[in-house]
Amino acid sequence: MGEKWVLMKTAQTPTNIAVIKYWGKRDETLILPVNDSISVTLDPAHLCTTTTVAVSPAFQQDRMWLNGKEISLSGGRYQNCLREIRTRAREVEDKERGIKIEKKDWEKLHLHIASYNNFPTAAGLASSAAGFACLVFALAKLMNVSEDESQLSAIARQGSGSACRSLFGGFVKWIMGKEDDGSDSLAVQLVDEKHWEDLFIIIAVVSSRQKETSSTSGMRESVETSSLLQHRAKEVVPKRTIKMEEAIQNRDFASFAKLACADSNQFHAVCLDTLPPIFYMNDTSHRQDNQLC
Amino acid sequence: MGEKWVLMKTAQTPTNIAVIKYWGKRDETLILPVNDSISVTLDPAHLCTTTTVAVSPAFQQDRMWLNGKEISLSGGRYQNCLREIRTRAREVEDKERGIKIEKKDWEKLHLHIASYNNFPTAAGLASSAAGFACLVFALAKLMNVSEDESQLSAIARQGSGSACRSLFGGFVKWIMGKEDDGSDSLAVQLVDEKHWEDLFIIIAVVSSRQKETSSTSGMRESVETSSLLQHRAKEVVPKRTIKMEEAIQNRDFASFAKLACADSNQFHAVCLDTLPPIFYMNDTSHRQDNQLC
């Protein structure tokens, strides 16, 4: 096995927009949510992350660049994804180039990762969802991992909760699961992207500034201080999720829009009920919301 | 008894600001709330209503002017207040002027009412609270009504719910009551205005425009459509009210401010959870809220 080779894979993953919102974790490390959520995956031609992963015996350490700028991989979320994928890595052979990576080699080999978002990062457009889904998917391809999308979604979930929903097109449900180890907290496709082809999604960017409160710290504060969050998670979302699945199956736009608006507003309501309050909407989004809902 | 006389009384009543919010009625006609609320009454030297009520055998009908403009008294709320006060009217005598009104005369005599607010009307500053409290109080003086402030508060409540809290200074609790006829839904003074003299209230008017949604229709829509409102009323407010009473008794500003902010934000959260959503805050109020809470 020569020392100069580099093996690469590139993947492209769209972002997804929740129509039944994920807000609140019951386990911070494994990223297990307090309720099911449902999202629609956008067309990858529009909002997406493109990630190239490369492996080479010449690499001295795992490194990553986001939008051309190197970022640290030392955080638990990256480490969890890398570890989970490496555990499942299998033998890879490129006969033409005379490259062979044994299963056991993956532990010693280092990765270089380059990721680009073609839309504003951390501005409420689920950049981390697309990013982690793309990272996990690209690594799975590079490492010849045999797990299916749902199994990969449980890995992507450990990078960013909503990332698990970006591994499928169409409408996707993140089942919250019951197990303490998170093994049943994964995404399933409800219907594929062809099911509702005359549904168009318009993304209106009212501000491309980074959010003042990250989703991670925001939902932690909501879980700790909002007296409405648990009621929403336990009493409201389960019923709403059933209705939303029906609306999607029946392509019932009136019900779909009403449920999506109601749930989005309730998510923002829980944010407002947090101490200190979190605002993800401004006057412009309020005006849009008033016209739509 | 001559026909040319006019008897007049003038009252001045401050507005009140709820620190545990009233939002949602269980009876629309009697104006019975879904939860207790607590407010602080402002200094009448600042935000107040001044109302003069006059009676004369020369008046042909009940009439009212608000801020110099005649308004209709035909609505149920005015009619309920006028009827309840007239029922309790007693004999009035002005010996000097040779005027005597028997109890039975009040049914036939008509009233002229002139009311002024020295602050923006219907802009979220409880103008109807001050207005109805002042109307009921002025009429009670004119008609020599013997009921005490709490009993009068149950009448003012039928004009505008929060009006019942403006009949006392200091901190006031509106007890929601249990009876179907509303007889036990009235205000009591928790502490008077001298209890916490170093507490200053700053009213920052970020917009003096009229609200887009009136409180009446807003809370009706919230009761009908918000899945968080009943949880707030039944589970959150009762506990919070006890804590707020303690904070007021102990002049514990940190607890007071935290509870008031949390409750105000939860009220706005329920508004946002309403279909269609109701926004009473704009970007300016959000910025203030973020700094204060």
Report the half-sphere exposure of B135 (CA within 13 A, side-chain side): 36
Are B277 and A265 a contacting pair at CB < 8 A? yes
Are A290 and B277 a contacting pair at CB < 8 A? yes
Closest CA to B189 of B220, B168, B214: B168
Question: What is the structure's pLDDT at B123?
Answer: 65
Give the closest-approach CA distance of A55 to chain B in angstroms.
Answer: 46
Question: What is the structure's pLDDT at B293?
Answer: 66
A to B CB pairs, distance under 8 Å: 83
Choose, out of B211, B235, B272, B281, the residue to mutate when testing the contact with A (most A CBs < 10 Å).
Answer: B272
User: Helix H segments across chain B?
Assistant: 76-87, 127-142, 149-156, 215-225, 229-231, 237-249, 253-272, 283-292
The domain that holds A151 is classified in CATH as 3.30.230.10
Whether A1 is covered by a domain: the verdict is: no
Rounded distance, CA B103 to CA B95, Å? Answer: 16
| Tens digits of residue pLDDT in B134-182 | 999 999 999 999 999 999 999 999 999 999 999 999 999 999 999 999 9
Whether B2 is covered by a domain: the verdict is: no
How many CB atoms within 10 Å of residue A133? 35
Choose, out of A227, A282, A288, the residue to mutate when testing the contact with B (most B CBs < 10 Å).
Answer: A227
- Three-state DSSP at A178 gives coil
Question: What is the structure's pLDDT at A126?
Answer: 75
Question: What is the structure's pLDDT at A93?
Answer: 96
Whether B81 is covered by a domain: the verdict is: yes
Question: What is the structure's pLDDT at A85?
Answer: 97
Domain hosting B134: range is 7-196+207-292
pLDDT exceeds cutoff 90 at A288:
no
| Tens digits of residue pLDDT in B74-129 | 999 999 999 999 999 999 999 999 999 999 999 999 999 999 998 877 666 778 99
Question: What is the structure's pLDDT at A293?
Answer: 65
Non-local CB neighbours of A31 within 8 Å, separated by 6+ positions: A25, A77, A157, A158, A160, A161, A182
**Range with the poorest average pLDDT among A115-124, A191-200, B35-44:** A115-124
Non-local CB neighbours of A172 within 8 Å, separated by 6+ positions: A16, A38, A39, A40, A41, A165, A166, A187, A188, A189, A190
Give the closest-approach CA distance of B126 to chain A in angstroms.
Answer: 22
Non-local CB neighbours of B229 within 8 Å, separated by 6+ positions: B23, B24, B34, B222, B223, B270, B273
Choose, out of B266, B270, B278, B290, the residue to mutate when testing the contact with A (most A CBs < 10 Å).
Answer: B266
Whether B238 is covered by a domain: the verdict is: yes
User: Is the CB of residue B54 less than 8 Å from the CB of residue B112?
Assistant: yes
B/e letters for B55-79, b = 16+ CB within 10 Å, e = fewer, are bbbeeeebbbebeeeeeebeeebbe
Assign A281 a pLDDT band (cuts: 50, 70, 90). Answer: confident
Whether B45 is covered by a domain: the verdict is: yes
Give the closest-approach CA distance of A277 to chain B in angstroms.
Answer: 7
Residues of B in contact with A267 (CB under 8 A): none
What is the end-to-end Cα distance of chain A in Å, rounded?
A: 61
Are A275 and B268 a contacting pair at CB < 8 A? no
Q: At what angle do helices B253-272 and B215-225 cross, to 10 degrees?
A: 70
Give 3-state DSSP helix, strand, coil % of chain A, rounded to 5. Answer: 40, 20, 40
Question: What is the structure's pLDDT at A198?
Answer: 94
User: Which residue in the set A277, A283, A293 is minimally distant from B289, CB to CB?
Assistant: A277
User: Which residue in the set A258, A273, A282 is minimally distant from B266, CB to CB?
Assistant: A273
pLDDT exceeds cutoff 80 at A2:
no
Sheet of A63-66, strands arranged across: A7-14, A48-56, A110-117, A63-66, A69-71
The whole-number average pLDDT for the span A190-209 is: 90
Whether A213 is covered by a domain: the verdict is: yes
Give the closest-approach CA distance of B287 to chain A in angstroms.
Answer: 9
Are A266 and B227 a contacting pair at CB < 8 A? yes
User: Which residue in the set A268, A273, A282 is minimally distant from B283, CB to CB?
Assistant: A282
Q: Which residue of B has its CA nearest to A229?
A: B228
The whole-model pTM stands at 0.86
Whether A202 is covered by a domain: the verdict is: no
Whether B85 is covered by a domain: the verdict is: yes
What is the end-to-end Cα distance of chain B in Å, rounded?
A: 61
The whole-number average pLDDT for the span B200-216 is: 84
The whole-number average pLDDT for the span A75-98 is: 96
User: Is the CB of residue B126 less than 8 Å from the CB of residue B16?
Assistant: yes
- Number of separate domains in chain B: 1
Residues of A with CB under 8 A from a CB of B: 225, 227-228, 231-232, 235-236, 258, 261-262, 265-266, 268-270, 272-277, 279, 282-283, 286, 289-290, 293
User: Is the CB of residue B187 less than 8 Å from the CB of residue B172?
Assistant: yes
Give 3-state DSSP helix, strand, coil % of chain B, rounded to 5. Answer: 40, 20, 40
The whole-number average pLDDT for the span A7-24 is: 96
Strands B110-117 and B63-66, sheet pairing: parallel
| Tens digits of residue pLDDT in A209-242 | 777 888 899 999 999 999 999 999 999 999 999 9
pLDDT: is A82 or A119 the higher one? Answer: A82
Question: What is the structure's pLDDT at A227?
Answer: 95
Rounded distance, CA A105 to CA A57, Å? Answer: 10
Are A228 and B232 a contacting pair at CB < 8 A? yes
